[in-house]
Structure 1
Amino acid sequence: MQIRAYLYLMAAAILVPVILFAGFALRLIEGAETDLERARVVRAADRVALLVDAELAATRSALRVLAASPSLARGDLDAFYEEAKAATGSPDAWGVLLDENGRMLFNTLAPSGAALPQEALPPFLSSVLAAQRPFVTELIPGYVSGRMMTAVGMPVSAGGRRYVLGVAYGAEHFRRLLAEAGTRPDWQLDILDRAGKLVASNLGSAELVGQEAPAALAAAATRSREGMLGLALRNGGEGTVAFSRLPDSGWLVAVGAPAASLIAPPGGARRAAALALVAALLGAAAVSASFGRGHARAIRSALEAASSLGRGELPPQRRSRIVEIDRLLAALRQAGSELRRTQATRDSAGSERQSQLEHAQLARQRAEEENRAKDQFLAMLGHELRNPLAPIGTAAQLLKMPDLDSHRARYAADVIGRQVEHMNRLLSDMLDVSRVTRGLVTLNLEDVDLRNIVERAVEQTRPLMEERQHRLELRLPSQAVMVRGDQTRLTQVVANLLTNSAKYTPPHGAIQLSLGSAGNEATLSVADDGEGITPDLLPRVFDLFSQGERKADRAQGGLGLGLALVRSLVQLHGGEVDASSPGSGGGSIFTVHLPLKHELAALAAPAPNPRRGRDSVRDPARNSAPPALPAALRVMLVDDNIDAAVSLSLLLEAAGDHLVSTYYDAASALEWAAFERPDVFILDIGLPDMNGYELARRLRAMPEFADTLLIALTGYGQLADKVRAREAGFDLHIAKPAEPEEILAALATVKVAGETERVE
């Protein structure tokens, strides 16, 4: 296929969508013109409604003027008759005066003083008296006029008497009003009363007055004050009817236009657009032919140049009107220089390979760092799981004791419940992080006030705040701060930030939560005067498993998931979170930014690991039969985990008849050690005020405890931890959760009052 054919096909491929789009645009123009005609019907209905409403308003005004007549006030009904007749002054509008009992005093259709028919209570009288304001009736029979009419009545008090003054209208009155509306002569204009009966129409005979409105129109008017629907017109043809209900009288104005009048006539914008399209197509075809010939000549020149280069000849210098062909000709002339550039490309490839090697090395370093973070996480995970397992195991063993009293049994059950709940929270945090990082979290978005989110989060973290005796200051605006988000997940974000500040702030610290908004953004910040964040940790503080320096007292605890979860959840809400800190000891500030809506502590950890590790500096017999009951010992137990400490003390008292004193911090243990002179110390390593290693050193420094058995009972079970325990002076290292038999076996090796040496 020649290039010229390709160009023609290209032009056709471009023009066919243009033609289709142009046809679609013409259809849109036709639809827009039809919509414009329908809009004219709606405007006509509104205009007629305004005319009728203005006529009724003028009648009410005239009644108010007549009600103030001195003739009526002094009871001169003849004079008042003349005034009323002059005020109405139309054969299709007449005045009526009735007393409060419904007796007709005069009707301007009849001479003054003429006998008038006294029928039953006029239909509109009760409505006027009940409303005590001007009232427009439905279509009612006129006893004097002998034809159907409507009336505007108003209660009047004059000269100490009460009357009902009204103006009645015949159908011709409103028929003339409709003739003045200025609509097309073939349009049907109807006025209907509240009951849906025809009051007047510009088309049809007078016998149509009182006829019921079409059911479809009545139903549509019931649902909406105004609207439009398709309906058969009175002349039998289909049409479109626009209706509007008057607010004061409740009457309905309907304007119907025949379907033929709504179809946009041919010509106009559509004809001009079609002609312009045809002209554009012809012009495009001519331009395509001209460009095709030029492209064919240029490509022939390129083929000749390539042939010359193949024969070893330098192609002649030629130019065409096509930039690309000119570049091809120039490229053929520079083929020799391109060969030299090939060597430069090889050199560049060598540099690129070196760069790739460097990138690979950096990637390997990042992978090693991630492996180290994983190892640290697994170590901390083992520690966090062992801590709750220790009191659970001890309490379970306590429950197996024969003759266990109900108080101890209830306490053991409470211990198990609390620790299981703690492990469940750990597992929940891990599952949350896993689901968020894999994109499996679905937000339940709704309009929420961040002030309510703050209240919920504060309530959740209150126990931790009170435990650490922090002072929490809330700075909340008086106005609602509305965002679009998941209430539960946003509460989790704020609670995690508060929990993080509470854990990394020493007791009696100050924490401030501020909430505000500026522009299109809501800002929530949590500031504390705690340990702060070191510069090397600050860039990765929101990464998974990132934590500050791990201390032996592990007062902070946790797995390094909370802030990572905060960042992921905030990003899911279209926001950002950042952290700032002047450094270690300078406190920290975490700020959450969320888009405003316009218009409109516990830690958590994974499931328990069935593998448990224990080791000791010395290796007592672990798998031997339970030892014989030793002599009663004085045991000092120091552990900041109250459940673990109390449950173990109850077990030692029940199983070995030992005398156990329990302390939850190192300072109290040091203060009472010399007084109590225990035979055995069981020490936890992670104490809040002083770690267990330092406590062991200070006890060994006291002469009376130089040979006393010191047992390290801790969740830190790695080889380095055992070495540190030996160096600090511990005799035994038992990893949590420890079997009660193992602790009782260690106590069985102790002989009271220095009977033997300590076991080495």
Structure 2
Amino acid sequence: MDLRVFRVSRRKLLVAVIVFAVYVLAAKAGSAFYAGGRAAPAIVFPAAGVSIAALFLEGYGLWVIITAASLFNSFLNATPVLTALGIASGSTLQALLGTYLLRRFKFDPRLWRFRDMALMVGVAVGATIISPTTAALMSWLTGLRGAVSPVQQWISWWLGGVLGVMLITPFLISWVTHPKLRLTRRSVLEGGIAFLALAGMSWLIYWTPTNSWGGVPLIYALLVPLFWISLRFGNRETITGLLAMSVISLTGTVFGWHGDPAATLGTRLFQVQLLNIILSCIFFIVSAISEERHMAEATSKSYVNQLEEAFEKLKSADQAKTEFIAILAHELRNPLAPALSSLEFLELQEFSTPEKEEAAMQAKRNIKNMSHLLDDLLDVSRISQGKIKLQKVPVKLSALAARVVQNVQLLVDSRRHKLAVDVPDDLPEVLADSLRLEQVLTNLLTNAARYTEPDGKIWLTAWEEKGKMVIKVRDTGIGITPETLPDIFEMFNQARRGASRTSEGLGIGLGLVKKLVELHGGTVVAYSEGVGKGSEFTVRLPLAAAPSAKNPGAPVSAAPEKKMAHRAVKASKKRILVVDDNEAAANALVKLFNRLGHEARAAYRAQAGIDDALDFRPHIILLDIGMPEMDGYEVARKLRGYPEFEKTIIVAVSGYGQEEDRQRSREAGFDQHLVKPVDLDTWRGLLEKA
């Protein structure tokens, strides 16, 4: 024998017995309030609520038990067989219809929504028409008559069913499905006081002659604890309070103080029953609205907490991404530094063949391109975090354009392009961050050179128009497809710009251009007639308030307009100490500085650098930041502690170049922070100012 089947059958049998017993007891309790003729059912019929709750919880299969329990109750009341069959049929159909409506419209036993409370009221009012109608019809057929008119009798029976379903059904469903209470010490105390107040006030009104105070009916006082319970507690607790009030009021009307002696007991019960139904409807609505408000607040709080958690995760992920990019840039820049220094050193020599010179120039160009790419990648991260702060000053555009041309000259020459520049000297100054504007124009010209086939033409022009500075970069390149043009400034956009060629790089150059221009309060737009017809990018920037005598926005490391790789060294001979745990990078710099006519030494450990500085007394100390045992910040602080180095130029040379890194350098006592790899022109500018 399958024990699982046995367990299920035993449970069903137990449920059937319980439902049968509860139904009969509820029917007998309702009979205690009987106030009509002998053949009339009770004016309060809680069994109607029991039957719908039973079918909703355990399924339609219990209809047989409901029918049997109704017949048994009629037998106990000595009801004629035909009438008993009619009452049982009506009660069963009523329970089936009520259960169907609750399930059809997805009634939630937790009673958290207004629609659930409204649905329960609708079922109580609508489904309970069946039982009194059937009972009235059977009474008429059997010739049984009550003490009141058939219409009044039908209304009394119907209201009895309405009150039973409205209070008993949700009470049983909610407590059976969710028996646990969310108890706290405060809620127990507050709930106890509220329910005692409701019970005490109901007892005072219905069980004693004291039904008014100061001429005001005490019935109004019931509203206070009812509002208290419905607003402070859930729908389930509100239903429990209404049920308790109904029991006290009905029993008090029958067994306690009888109220107005001129009114019959049936009339008084009818009035109390009608009042209880009205109060139930009102406070169903009040508690449902309050519960939905609490749910909305809890949901909102939950969403806020989830959003805060998601924001923190995104913030952590963004921070991790930023740190990863910074570390990646540092690790990539470290090997670039000695490579560039070695190439700069070779550039100062006489190459034996043009091929060797071309190879060195190509290697140098690729190193600078990679360094430029790393700068762009870090800037994207800074912009996304709002960490880029512009140092806006009046900038002379012609001088800045000369530096930009120098930045891209190697790339332009390697692709045999013709670059035409028309940026007059007499243009008004623009209000801009010189370094960032140089970055914008460098990116635009680099983009034009990359996407123009060899032997192409590129134009850089600028003019004043309507109080704005207009800068245009135009090329004869592969053009931009109409599908790509609207998204050309999107970050990491690597969409195809032409029919036969995909984009190069990471797709961040133009996105960075747009962000930087917007930070300047300007605009940038792209235009192309289509594939193979070139493209143009137009930048509009605000002008400076007034021209200045010189350009204070130019960087310290700004190179001259024409590159002079083999020019004579103008700076006086300097003693230079290079401290870097990367021996290749340190040695390459020492060779470069010695070739430039200076005296340079290298130290590969932090403490060795301090000792060598005390012995060598350099004019300039170049410190790597990420050294073992002691980082460059600590070395700088210790060096500044010696009187001998108060005026010595100490420069941080690091693969880390974010604003917080530069700020830490300033706080540690560095005079300047250079990011690897550093080119020859920057070193020359530093040496000339030392």
Q: Please report the TM-score for the alignment, with normalisation by the length of structure 2.
A: 0.29
Which structure dedicates a bigger proportion of its chain to strand? 1
Considering only CA atoms, is the larger Rg found in Structure 1 or Structure 2? 1
Q: Please report the TM-score for the alignment, with normalisation by the length of structure 1.
A: 0.26
